[in-house]
């Protein structure tokens, strides 16, 4: 019962602040509501017993990506952007398309509710998840998923170099 209450609280905060992210005129307000969305998604992860992912969510998203967003807002002049028109002309079509999308997704999930019976987890795996989430994730990451893990490090290196090259100020040599 407590789980259900927590789920509904976090889901409500997530959705309301997500809607506020896309409706606020000022980008700084959007960033603040994005922080609230990301933190409540971390709460959702906690209700799913993914404690490690909740920590990663808070550290990487709120501590990293969001700070990056705020830095960029600091670098560019915000006064101009608040006076510009914020919504595009085809917002009506966009809303209709989004309504069709949510109807489709909702219908599919609702229809699958009975036919979509997943196999019962075996006892060993269930026991594994009880021994500590970080341990299980770490073991899987460094055994079965070692190669993707290393490739992810190369992706991050490329992203660092790319970001520096893109945002670099033109020097005298150029």
Partner 1 sequence: MVSTYHYLFLGAALFTVGIIGVLTRRNILVILMSIELMMNAVNINLIAFSHHLKHPTGQIFAIFVITVAAAEAAVGLGIVIAMFKNKETMNVNEIDIMKW
Told to check if 140 binds partner 1 by CB under 8 A, we report yes
Measured between alpha carbons, how far is 19 from 14 in angstroms, rounded to an integer? Answer: 9
Q: Is 74 in the site for partner 1 (CB under 8 A)?
A: no
Shortest distance in whole angstroms from residue 173 CB to partner 1: 17
- Of these, 9, 74, 111, 162, which contacts partner 1 (CB under 8 A)? 162
Choose which of 9, 98, 111, 150 interacts with partner 1 (CB under 8 A): 98
* Window 26-45: residues binding partner 1 (CB under 8 A): 27, 30-31, 34, 37-38, 41, 44-45
| Rounded Cα distance, 149 and 145, in Å | 6
4 is a contact residue toward partner 1 (CB under 8 A): yes
Among 48, 74, 111, 150, the residue binding partner 1 under the rule CB under 8 A is: 48
Which residue in the set 74, 111, 132, 145 belongs to the binding site for partner 1 (CB under 8 A)? 145
**For partner 1, which is the closer residue by CB, 153 or 173?**
153
Q: How far is CA 123 from CA 117, 118, 120, 126, in A?
A: 18, 15, 9, 5
CB 45 within 8 A of CB 7: no
Whole-number Å distance between alpha carbons of 86 and 40: 26
| Residue 155 Cβ vs partner 1, minimum distance, rounded to whole Å | 6
The token duo for 167 is: 């945002």
| Calpha distance 56→54 (Å, rounded) | 5
Out of 115, 131, 167, 174, the only residue in the binding site for partner 1 (CB under 8 A) is: 167
Is 106 buried (19+), middle (13-18) or exposed (0-12) by CB count in 10 A?
exposed
Among 88, 115, 131, 172, binds partner 1 (CB under 8 A): 88
């Amino acid at each position: 019962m407590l789980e259900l209450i927590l789920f509904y609280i976090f889901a409500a905060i997530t959705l309301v602040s997500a809607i506020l992210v896309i409706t606020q005129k000022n980008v700084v307000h959007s960033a603040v509501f994005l922080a609230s969305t990301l933190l409540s998604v971390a709460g959702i992860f906690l209700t799913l017993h993914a404690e490690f992912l909740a920590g990663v969510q808070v550290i990487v998203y709120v501590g990293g990506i969001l700070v990056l967003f705020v830095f960029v807002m600091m670098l560019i002049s915000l006064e101009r952007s608040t006076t510009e028109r914020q919504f595009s002309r085809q917002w009506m079509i966009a809303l209709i398309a989004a309504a069709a999308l949510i109807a489709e997704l909702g219908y599919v999930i609702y229809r699958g509710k009975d036919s979509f019976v997943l196999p019962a987890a075996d006892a060993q795996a269930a026991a594994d998840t009880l021994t500590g989430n970080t341990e299980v994730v770490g073991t899987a990451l460094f055994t079965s998923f070692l190669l993707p893990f290393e490739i992810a490090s190369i992706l991050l290196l490329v992203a660092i170099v790319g970001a520096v090259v893109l945002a670099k100020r033109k020097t005298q040599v150029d």
